[in-house]
Amino acid sequence: MINQKTSVGDIVKSHFQTIKIFDDHQIDFCCGGKQSLLEACAEKSIDPNMVITQLKEAIKIPVCVPKFDEMPVSELIQYIKEKHHSYVREQVPIISKFLNKIEQVHGAKHSEIAVVNAHFKESVQNLIQHMGQEETELFPLIENLVKIKNGESVANSSFEIDAKESISSLLNDHENEGARFKEISRLTHSYHPPEGACTTFRAAYENLFAFEKDLYRHIHLENNILFPKAIHLELDVKKNI
């Protein structure tokens, strides 16, 4: 049952198709997922009852989307790597090429492009480092916790478990990149190119918008599903050491 007190993250976790409604209203369901629907709507000066009606209608529409909250942790990790980490690595050179080109050609007339490009470059640098930390440190740790929980591996008193500490750092990264893309959205007028913009200009903004949408879904899966499950696993394993 969705009501004004339901957290935005819980709504998306249970009904992934509601993302479109939150996208339409520019409501943050990933980094701001702990907010209640009432709080999120108040920030945007939106009637929460109207949004609830729209959410309920969206839920009625059948969609072919994995039930992420029911996925085994190892399967969810694999999905994140194959779907979202790969997407970032594929799109970075494409978007960078577009932004560099329009800054070179149109930067004198549109000074915001240089700022957007600088933000994107910094975001890319941070995201690549962030994903590397997940893939080489956190994800293997979580998968080891799963094995211990299932009796496929053994933990002892000297076993170092620090998933919560690692997650805290990664959550901070998510907050920073979420805020950065909100600023990019503001600078680009919600990714609307100026009137008469060339094909490259439009492509740059379209790809940036798609990148932002994928990033928010990526962050949602980690913040609201994977990370809480990992912390719960860690607590369970600690009890049995």
Smallest CA-to-CA distance from 208 within 79, 112, 108, 78 is with 112
- pLDDT greater than 70 at residue 160: no
Mean pLDDT of the region 26-31: 87
CB 93 within 8 A of CB 61: no
- State pLDDT tens for residues 72-107: 999 999 999 999 999 999 999 999 999 999 999 999
Domain boundaries, the chain: 8-60, 68-239
pLDDT score at 161: 63
- pLDDT greater than 80 at residue 13: yes
CB 104 within 8 A of CB 46: no
Which pair of structure tokens corresponds to residue 107? Answer: 């930067």
CA distance 127 to 169: 13
The model's pTM is 0.85
CB 194 within 8 A of CB 127: no
Return the axis-axis angle of helices 163-187 and 199-220, rounded to nearest 10°: 150
